[in-house]
A and B are shown apart, each in its own frame.
Chain A
């Protein structure tokens, strides 16, 4: 599986936008870029995914570089509830499903 690189931690102020970067220079053409997050003492939670184009949903936006070697998860207005570990994961789809390989992620701290 192609690897991803994320900063260990980031800090943000409440109500401000947050840009969480992810590098994936060895991404292959069939790899989807997924973002999950894990709030304290909870299971991982899906945030967003994309392949080539930027994506928006009710939780966040995903900006994908033109060469696909990096991506950025954007939380438009961070709240205290967004404090979590955010994982950027590459996964190929096949008939077997898509096994997720979690790295260390970025621990996002949100200050009031």
Chain B
């Protein structure tokens, strides 16, 4: 069964450094999402992406964040200058569209900012 994959599974970085989290959505899906979950807290929506542009974003998704679909298969989340409070699990999800509303989530990347 097709699945969403994410790399790396765990990323450790120093405060102020840039990180790129990578996701490979399911191949025929059209909608892509990033969510995050700080340890012990709720899953929070960050951004949705459709037709090569951001379609919705939350207040969390400020100028430090950006998303890209560089090559038609990967979907990346970049954090330009990481802060301690960016430490969280980051989940990528994809959705087929066309009336199929189920979102398929990846296993997540644990980001630790020191």
A interface residues with partner B (beta carbon < 8 Å): 32, 34, 36, 38, 42-46, 49, 87, 91, 93, 95-104
User: Within the assembled complex, what's the spacing in Å between the Cα atoms of A93 and B44?
Assistant: 18
Interface size range on B against A: 20 to 34
Within 8 Å CB of A38, what residues of B? Answer: 43
For chain A, what secondary structure do more than half of its interface residues adopt (helix, strand, loop), or is it mixed? loop
5 A-B contact pairs sorted by A residue (CB < 8 Å): A38-B43, A44-B93, A49-B102, A97-B33, A102-B44
Chain B residues with Cβ under 8 A from A87's Cβ?
Answer: 43
Helix, strand, loop or mixed for chain B's interface? Answer: strand
B103 within 8 A of A: yes
Q: Output the least CB separation between B104 and chain A (Å).
A: 7
- The answer to whether A49 touches B101 (Cβ under 8 A) is yes
B65 at the interface (CB under 8 A from A): no
Q: Are A43 and B31 in contact (CB under 8 A)?
A: no
Could you say which residues of chain B place their CB within 8 Å of the CB of A96?
Answer: 48, 50, 55-56
